[in-house]
Structure 1
Amino acid sequence: MHTTTPGPAGPAISRLGLGCMSMTGTYGSTDPHEAAATLLEALDSGVTLYDTGDFYGDGANEELLGRTLAPYRDRIVLATKTGVRRTAEGLVPAGSPDDLRRACEASLRRLRTDHIDVYYLARIDPAVPVEESVGTLAELVAQGKVGRIGLSEVSAATLRRAHSIHPISAAQTEYSLWERHVENDILPTLRDLGAVLVAYSPLGRGLLTGAVHATTRYERGDFRATAPRYNGDDLKANLAIVDALTRLAAAKGATPAQVALAWLLTRGSDVIPIPGSSRRLHLRDNLAALDLHLTAADLSAIDAAVPTTGAQGARYGDHGIRLIDE
């Protein structure tokens, strides 16, 4: 397994992590036995970074990781997120000190561990200064319950405010061939601060694998059914990008997912993709990207095939967009 060492004192971690959100819904129904088997195969394959969140499946995702990976705790880097709670209307911010302390204790129980390696504030609570939220997370670090602090979906300015209170080790946001907004301000800021970028949805929530078509009907409960980018005219426009990527991959004897991940791996050793998978077959396909070499000509062809503006349409619906710190 290829590894990288984020930051001057960070532990060596696998070059690809595993995003676990899809193992308990989000993109439709899942098989919990296959999800557990996928976690164990990832472990056997050398994957050390596992990413979850307390609001994934209302805690069920953390419970799955706790049941499956607790016996191997010393072999993994465990990351989870908090700072939002689920309501009938959707996710709402919950970044007060009391919210964060309660959430941490609950996550520790579900994950069957005494510490969280990387604890992310998933969204910024507009009612709570980020300095106050990060200060509470810093208390959890001092107590030994948290190793490092991360933020998710934040602006460069917020990163700097948070970092002034306690070192921010990682920021997590969407980054892929067709979603490159982080390259403008966020990635340069992280590099200035000595932090890493953890890239979620590196496969465009499955679209960059070629698995979705114009006639695809999403299952009930699938996040993509309500996000503009994955529907209607936006989807039709974005499938042209997928078609171009598929042709480029075929010329390399690879899958489009492998090319998309290999491209991200060229962005720097401080960019750590966490492709999600709840099936072993997809995990194996993703891990093969580690051995796929993209030449300068390949990278030029990819740049020519993917519009500089990226995918068409918003990546979240109106409610989700309002939760993003800009």
Structure 2
Amino acid sequence: MSIETIRIEGIATPVSRIGLGTWAIGGWMWGGADDARSVETIRQAVESGINLIDTAPVYGFGHSEEVVGKALEGIRERAVIATKVALEWSDSGIHRNATARRIRQEIEDSLRRLRTDRIDLYQVHWPDPLVPHEETARELERLREEGKILAIGVSNYSPEQMDGFRRFAPLAAVQPPYNLFERAIEADVLPYAREHGLVVLAYGALCRGLLSGRMHADTAFEGDDLRKVDPKFQAPRFARYLAAVEALRQLARERHGKSVLALAIRWILDQGPTIALWGARHPGQLAGIDEAFGWKLDAEDLRRIDVLLAEHVKDPVGPEFMAPPARQG
């Protein structure tokens, strides 16, 4: 089955509608990672037709970008690299910093770690309330004019923030959290993207593994794995979400002969100008990607999905716990 693609303004290469998310590959907040397996995973993704590789400096504090750069040596031109900017880290923690000076420093660090002369999609990781949109946007536009980046995106921005940003630089994409269990963007960001021609890169497409169909009641999370503090993975909610996954699994099988993982990805792809970011850190986690293509969910599918979710998840929670703090003055 051929992989569906989408065009992102400013990037000549058609972009695969599933992208490889590499937060876990950085090791940090996911209980560690094996670099050799990570390189193998990235290369296998590209071989399978997934050309979008999404990363960020803060994923492992530079480590994810370094692994991506190593993996893409010799095949760089077959990949579309998306990375991010405007988070800084120190002994005191992680904070937002979207100043022009920080952006100028970060672009050089990212280019070096990624072993490339350009970044295809450069995204502001989180809005910085202490920096005017004009400063951030104009600096990114200068980088675009210099050829160091091809397209500009933002992540975790509201429509109002995107409006402010777009007064000073063209936006091609927005990256919000979006999956069957986390749907807040349907009220604002998704319709805004449709209206303004922005591609939506949906992160957390499998809701941190919940929608993979591979979790069960006694699944354990080790080390610094962020799911140890994610409310979805704590009792009693975890059992309710797992029950919802089981109901979705049955629907996917009965209606389409598909896995719940394929259903979760197909659902995102059917929402509009979307890309589903699929996190993986070993090749086996790429299994099932081709199942997401070549079919569609119909109106009855969507109705039944909503009924199942309402029945099993009566107190849904979002991904707000992941938001980094702003700097203090």
Fold equivalence (TM over 0.5): yes
- What are the ranges of 5 or more consecutive residues in structure 2 without an aligned counterpart? none
Which residue matches 2:72?
A: 69
Distance 1:233 1:90 in 2: 30
Equivalence map 1:50-199=2 (5 Å): 50-88=53-91, 90-199=93-202
CA contact (8 A) 1:180 1:310 kept: no
- Farther-moved stretch of structure 1 (204-213 vs 174-183): 204-213
* SS, match of residue 137 in structure 1: helix
Please tell me whether residue 211 in structure 1 is matched to residue 207 in structure 2.
no
- Asked if 2 retains the 8 angstrom alpha-carbon contact of 1:177 and 1:310, the reply is no
CA contact (8 A) 1:41 1:280 kept: yes
User: Aligned with 2:72: secondary structure?
Assistant: helix
Cα distance, 1:46 vs. partner? 1.1
Amino acid at match of 1:262: R
Q: Is the 8 A contact 1:178 1:310 kept in 2?
A: no
Aligned amino acid, residue 141 of structure 1: R
In structure 2, relative to structure 1, the CA distance for the partners of 1:183 and 1:313 (3 Å cut) is closer
Q: 2:269 aligns with which of 241, 265, 270?
A: 265
- Local SS of the residue matching 2:144: helix
Match of 1:35 in 2: 38
Higher mean Cα deviation, 132-141 or 297-306?
297-306
Unaligned 5+ segments in structure 1 are none
Residue of structure 1 aligned with 2:23, choices 21, 24, 30: 21
- Tell me the distance in 1 between the aligned counterparts of 2:49 and 2:314: 32
Q: How far off is 1:322 after superposition?
A: 5.0
Aligned residue for 1:4? 6
Asked if structure 2 preserves the Cα contact closer than 8 Å seen for 1:13 and 1:48, the reply is yes
Distance change in 2, residues 1:89/1:289 (3 Å) = farther
Deviation string 1:215-253 (CA, Å, 9 cap, x unpaired) is: 332111101112222212232332222121122233243
Q: 1:322 to 1:86 in 2, by over 3 A?
A: closer
Q: Which residue of 2 aligns with 1:229?
A: 232
Question: How much does 1:132 deviate?
Answer: 1.1
Counterpart CA distance in 2 for 1:61 and 1:307 is 37
Q: Equivalents in 2 of 1:132, 1:151: separation in Å?
A: 14
Other-structure match for 1:312: 316
8 Å Cα contact 2:94/2:324 also seen in 1: no
Q: 2:243 aligns with which of 218, 240, 243?
A: 240
Contact 2:270–2:296 under 8 Å retained in 1: no
Question: So what's the TM-score if we normalise by structure 2?
Answer: 0.91
Separation (CA, whole Å) in 1 of partners of 2:36 and 2:238: 32
Q: Distance in 1 between matches of 2:244 and 2:79?
A: 35
Could you tell me the percent identity over the aligned residues?
A: 34
Q: Is the 8 A contact 2:177 2:204 kept in 1?
A: yes
Residue 74 of structure 1 deviates from its aligned partner by 1.4
* Paired residues of 2:96 and 2:325 also in contact (CA < 8 A): no
TM-aligned CA deviation for residue 27 of structure 1: 1.9
- 1:232-283 Cα distance to aligned partner (Å, 9 max, x none): 2232332222121122233243221111001111112x11111111122221
Letter matched to residue 265 of structure 1? L
**Please, what is the CA RMSD of the aligned residues?**
2.1
Mark the CA change 1:87 to 1:224 in structure 2 (over 3 Å): closer, same or farther.
Answer: farther
Give the helix-richer structure, 1 or 2: 1
Q: Is 1:256 aligned with 2:260?
A: yes
Q: Is the CA contact (8 Å cut-off) linking 2:24 and 2:280 kept in structure 1?
A: yes
1:283–1:310 CA distance, 2 compared to 1 (3 A): farther
